[in-house]
Amino acid sequence: MSVIFENSRFFRQQGYINGQWVDADSGNTFDVTNPATGEVIARVADMGAAETARAIDAAEAVQAEWAALPARTRCNRLERWYQAILDNRKELGQIMTVEQGKPIAEAIGEVAYGASYIKWFAEEGKRVYGDIIPAPMTDKRNLVIKQPVGIVGAITPWNFPSAMLARKLAPALAAGCVVVAKPAAETPLSALALAVLAEEAGIPAGVINLVTGMDAPAIGSELTSNPKVRKITFTGSTRVGKLLMEQCAGTIKRTSMELGGNAPMIVFDDADLDIAIPGALAAKYRNSGQTCICSNRIFVQDGIYDEFIERLKSEVEKFSIGNGLEEGVTHGPLITEAAALGVESKVQDALEQGARVVTGGARSENGPCFFQPTIIADAVPSMRVFREEIFGPVAPIFRFGNEEEVVELANNTEFGLAAYFYTENMNRMWRVSEALEYGMVGVNETAISSEVIPFGGMKESGQGREGSRYGMDDYLETKLICVGGLDRK
């Protein structure tokens, strides 16, 4: 095992429970692999249900104390944590690139993006206001206060190993909740590194617990069935999200679900291609196509169809794929070889149904996890790329004739996370924005995400919102205090 960061204080291979770095009870570990090189970069504690239960007990022991702190005290510690992450973002970015594959500039950007949620909720945490509601009787007063929901179980994916965790920890801790989290087995190192800095920033033992392990069903079952856990927040696939919601039903836990997407990007004839092309490149190929808000289906109107494809092609062919640590590399590998094979089979299905390769179209010589940046034209709705999340650097282009037809096509999916469209027509801008059944709509813009906006989906893309002032609600209970008998003298 030879990696650039093995002397880093952020490089941890044990779980983090009750402020202690701990091995699995069994002593077993699992391998974490660099998808760009195939090299094993870490052997991390392989924990299961028993360690999860202990982490929940540790959380329970400090829940009341953490919740009772003045919001300002909690938030000051979050501010310190935010600053520490920013100060160390380069080192954290390197860890991420090596375990996840994204180019170093993107990885550093993700660290800063995740940290921005910590800063945001450090501010919002001081503004958890209640209400006084006029009572229907003169002898009563109705007060509404907000209280933390309690112990939160968090499960996060590998595609944004730092930001998806930060986005959950920040509002939870600011609200006064404590957390037991399970990072994805492919990418536990970025999560563990965040815990190192949380500890240094003064977040007390037991407030953040990280359970690492390969047996996600065992860890997940404990989190979802243990009555001490009051809420599950999950980012990942719709399949696993549904399973977790079923499991949560037994103890009626609150849930927040950030699930899969199938984002349409619509380019109307009247679009300005000078902004639509960069928008398409960013929305489709960021993180090599492995984001939940990647444009999955690109609909281009008849009049500009050929020009759009030609211009997109010439930009895509400038990409440089390879090891994300290397200078000049714009696109890294997919997370696993299985992921690359999955993308290949979707492209194959499209080609068998009459699509044509404009560029790319195959796995790459860079290594088993790589797939060439690809454009396929003449895609149609019967193809898998219309129905399923591609999660790879493949842009399928669908031709359409009119607005009504394309809105119907765009909404023809069980998903409803993000949608984008490009037009210079003001009336159309409002019409289409309101007609799209998506939690987030980008108009002439695909860089929609930041800590100030409510990120989340409709339909089978989930429920709840992360970020913005709405994001705190997911971690708060609304309690009525009704004071009566006030007419007595």
Interface ranges with ligand NAP (CB under 6 A): 155-160, 164, 182, 184-186, 216-217, 220, 235-237, 240, 243, 258-261, 292, 389, 417, 457, 462
Provide the minimum distance between the beta carbon of 439 and ligand NAP in the complex, in angstroms, as a whole number. 9
- How far apart, in whole angstroms, are the C-alpha atoms of residue 225 and residue 484? 38
CA distance 345 to 28: 35
Q: Are 104 and 94 in contact (CB under 8 A)?
A: yes
Q: What is the smallest separation between the CB atom of 415 and ligand NAP, expressed in angstroms?
A: 9
Q: How far is the CB of 331 from ligand NAP (least distance, A)?
A: 18
Instruction: Quote the least distance from Cβ 443 to ligand NAP, whole Å.
Output: 20
Q: Is residue 451 within 8 Å of 117, Cβ to Cβ?
A: yes
Which tokens go with 289?
Answer: 């196509």
**Is position 294 annotated as part of the catalytic site?**
no
Distance CA 110, CA 106 (A): 6
C-beta separation of 301 from 401 below 8 A: yes
Q: Based on CB atoms, which residue is closest to ligand NAP, 130 or 342? A: 342
Give me the catalytic one of 177, 248, 292, 369: 292
Task: Please report, for the chain, how many H helices and E strands are present, in that order.
Answer: 14, 22
Nearer to ligand NAP, 315 or 344 (CB): 344
Q: Within 13 Å and on the Cβ side, how many CA atoms surround 259?
A: 25
Toward ligand NAP, which CB reaches closer, 69 or 218? Answer: 218
Burial class of residue 296 in the structure, from the number of CB atoms within 10 Å of its CB (0-12 exposed, 13-18 middle, 19+ buried): buried
Q: How far is the CB of 241 from ligand NAP (least distance, A)?
A: 7
Question: Of 225 and 237, which has the nearer Cβ to ligand NAP?
Answer: 237
Q: What is the DSSP string of 60-81?
A: HHHHHHHHHS-HHHHHHHHHHH
Tell me the C-alpha distance between 365 and 360, whole Å: 12
CB 188 within 8 A of CB 44: yes
How far apart are CB 72 and ligand NAP at their closest, in Å?
30
Q: 184: which residues sit within 8 A by CB, 6+ positions away?
A: 156, 157, 158, 161, 236
- Residue, CB closest to ligand NAP: 220
Nearer to ligand NAP, 91 or 186 (CB): 186
Tokens of 106: 């993107």
Q: Which of 186, 199, 222, 258 is catalytic?
A: 258
Backbone dihedral angles phi then psi of residue 437, each to the nearest 5 degrees: -90, 70
Distance of CA 56 to the CA centre of its chain: 23
Of 124 and 466, nearer to ligand NAP (C-beta) is: 466
* CB 323, min distance to ligand NAP, A: 22
Sign of the Cα torsion 89, 94, 97, 99 reads negative
Is residue 258 annotated as a catalytic residue, yes or no?
A: yes
* Pick 16 or 308: Cβ nearer ligand NAP: 16
Enumerate the active-site residues: 258, 292
